[in-house]
Amino acid sequence: MVYPVCIGCSSGIRYGQKFKVGDGLGKLFWSVRRLSRVNSNDFICQQCQLMFVRWTKETNGEFKNFITNDIEKDEAGFNGEVR
Q: What's the pLDDT score for residue 70?
A: 52
Whether 23 is covered by a domain: the verdict is: yes
pLDDT in tens, 23-78: 888 898 999 999 999 998 999 999 999 999 999 888 887 776 665 545 445 444 54
Residue 60 lies in a domain: yes
Angle between helices 46-58 and 25-34 (to 10 degrees): 110
| Domain span at 57 | 19-74
Burial 54-72 (b: 16+ CB within 10 A, else e): eebeeeeeeeeeeeeeeee
Model confidence band, residue 83 (pLDDT cutoffs 50, 70, 90): very low
Asked, for residue 6, whether it belongs to a domain, the answer is no
Tally the domains of the chain. 1
50 or 79, higher pLDDT: 50
pTM of the model: 0.70
Among 66, 3, 64, 57, CA closest to 32: 66
Q: Is residue 5 part of a domain?
A: no
